[in-house]
A and B are shown apart, each in its own frame.
Chain A
């Protein structure tokens, strides 16, 4: 387990992309036909997928429906550190 998972560059990247998507999502809820925002959301979605895949391959599942490799005999979801643990 890395010393501080939340400081890993991959995690920082996921946080940045996701934060942008969070705001874009709220905007798109009331501006569903804005092409510029839709295109931007699409791009971010792709970037996020790549970053999450890379992160999960290294640190285990990020989401509760996340990647659990088939044939894997080690349950990693409940492994720490948890998001509030910066130690």
Chain B
């Protein structure tokens, strides 16, 4: 079970829209090293973690990654809020807009939909922790 809090983990308050920037930031939600992958990775891997305190750590990190999904989604939402098709035409956000309009859809900066192929869960703690290092240590 998870318990939702009606707040962001870190405040997002954007007053000027910017569709070009939104398309770049979107990859931090749905790209290969994005928050969606991070959350799925930690939450999936915890079941085969033999050490209770590390299983707890994976749970807590995975939970925080979900909060990061919400932060990044809020940034993209506020960067594109109420934009018209005319304002988006000719920007890198245009191709995304064709399929999703102003909805938040987890994709990379090049528009690739998020996929579970970005994550790994092998049932071996050392292997999984190395995967975590590779995926999360730079972001």
Interface residues of chain A, those whose CB is within 8 Å of chain B, are 4, 6-7, 11-12, 14-15, 18-19, 22, 25-26, 29-30, 32, 61-65, 77, 82-84, 86-87
Contacts and interface: CB of A to CB of B under 8 A. Distances in A.
30 contacts: A4-B13, A6-B7, A6-B8, A6-B12, A7-B11, A11-B7, A15-B7, A15-B8, A18-B7, A18-B9, A19-B9, A22-B9, A25-B60, A29-B56, A29-B57, A30-B54, A32-B53, A62-B6, A62-B7, A63-B5, A63-B6, A77-B6, A83-B7, A83-B70, A83-B74, A84-B12, A84-B70, A84-B74, A86-B12, A86-B13
A4 B55 CA distance: 38
Nearest to A81: B6
Interface residues of B, number: 26
Contacts of B11: 6-7, 12, 15
Given A25-B60, A29-B53, A84 B6 contact: no
Nearest to A83: B8
Contacts of B61: 26
Contact of B57 (A22, A30, A86): A30
Interface of B: 3-15, 53-54, 56-57, 60-61, 64, 70, 73-74, 77-78, 81
A38 B61 CA distance: 19
